[in-house]
Structure 1
């Protein structure tokens, strides 16, 4: 289920990158990112900007196969160490990728690693890649983090689709997300209708927008639910309530992390 338009995704790539740049401005770029402990803030930023450039190259060239990183201009980051150079590099990469996606439109056929071979996939993926990593940066810099409700909801739904795709593809962790008679409810307390019921069947899991009694329910503001669901925030805390079998929620989070 895609809830945003192609143009909106392109807008969000720019907006989320601008918000990321704002977090990085004045921050200690050598600080470790708690949710990605192998990276510093600078390395996180280069990862995001590199992903933008990689996707931009796929879209611009209408690539039918994966594009090796070595063939993507500028993917390794700016040549200068100055924070200003990193900021400009991030802005330029996001703008170029958004422009390429707008020019291609949502239905141009290109290579992807997933269920859809259309540019619409990349517009959505780069939006939520940036949403999630902006949260990583905000946590590392101890900066505030907010995201629009429709973007947060779509982040949850895209991740559900990715986990479902991984399960169908035989990912060993996602394959364990099964077992009849159990269910997980996500319930936003600040956005009407923002509720998702995940049901574990013998062959796998399914999900739908619904409010029903579940084995475990996680309730809280939509942004906080999204952050927990993407493992950027612990489920136990002042802003999120877990009711029922908390081990089932942990079971989901552990097996939808993909390392």
Structure 2
């Protein structure tokens, strides 16, 4: 168990896109996606494909930052009436272009999103987990069973706790209302036995902190398989699906405030 390799993350992005595309035959893309309110499946697919192509472009063209003005990932409201026959090949082309650009090598001063975080590591991880979480969204909308490799989910938990949480704090003012009151939330991955399966979100200070393998008194404790924990933190699955003890209202408020 541990962080995925660079190649494994790129492979995950491609494989997860392929699994998504393979489920689209004869599917009505106008169906709503409950975990992405306001979007249809058509729009979700466009969002994911544009995300892959955005990072491919900024890497290939050697932009110093991940220039958001080049991204169309959140400009998908106008897409409707497309078919899987159109979007499937487009999705695969985009993720394969992304993989090719990433394998070409990325200097640390290219496509920077988080200062101090090497771009190759950040974007390989970000697109891997962006892809499988959105595959979950699509499968959930279609009523299909979903599974993800637990080591992939563990890598996503690492990203959420140690890299995404500060970004979420900067973007979600509501999260600030939970800080400075001594609250901590503890998450246990039940499908791992090692200490590294335990994570804590510390809200007691001025900024939220994700911590691994630290024993602290907490307000709420959550136990679930690692993939369920990740999907809960992403606001995809309700806490009721897991074993929760302690302040359940705090957990609900935190997940709502920290949705990414």
Q: Which TM-score band (shorter chain)?
A: 0.7 to 0.9
Residue 221 of structure 1 aligns with which residue? 225
State the alpha-carbon separation in 2 of the partners of residues 76 and 61 from structure 1.
27
TM-score (norm 1): 0.86
- 2:96 corresponds to 1:95: yes
More strand by share: 1
Once the two structures are superposed, the pairs formed by residues 151-190 of structure 1 within 5 Å of their partners are: 151-160=152-161, 161-167=163-169, 169=170, 171-190=172-191
Instruction: Find the residue that maps to 1:196 and give its secondary structure.
Output: strand
Counterparts of 1:48-87 in structure 2 under 5 Å? 48-65=48-65, 66=67, 68-69=69-70, 81-87=82-88
Indicate the SS of the match to 1:185. Answer: strand
Aligned mates of 2:71, 2:42 — CA distance in 1? 20
Q: 2:212 aligns with which of 209, 227, 230?
A: 209
- 1:127 partner SS: helix
- Report if the CA contact (8 A) 1:198-1:205 is conserved: yes
In the aligned structure 2, how far is the partner of 1:218 from the partner of 1:27? 36
Which runs of structure 2 are paired with 1:132-151 in the superposition (5 Å)?
132-151=133-152
List per-residue Cα deviations over 1:145-181 (Å, max 9, x = no partner). Answer: 11111111121221222122343x4752333342243
Contact 1:110–1:119 (8 Å) recurs in 2: no
* Aligned mate of 1:244, from 240, 246, 256: 246
Alignment length, in residue pairs? 250
- CA drift of 1:67 comes to 5.7
Residues 171 and 226 from structure 1, CA distance in 2 versus in 1: closer, same or farther, beyond 3 angstroms?
A: closer
User: Which blocks of at least 5 consecutive residues in structure 1 are unaligned?
Assistant: none
- Distance, in Å, in 2 between the alignment partners of 1:166 and 1:45 is 23
SS in 2 for 1:39: coil
Q: What's the TM-score, normalizing by structure 2?
A: 0.86
Q: Structure 1 residue 108: deviation in Å? A: 4.0
Which residue is equivalent to 1:195?
198
Aligned equivalents of 1:230, 1:186: Cα separation in 2: 14
Q: Which moved more, 1:210-219 or 1:44-53?
A: 210-219
Change (3 A) 1:40 1:166: closer
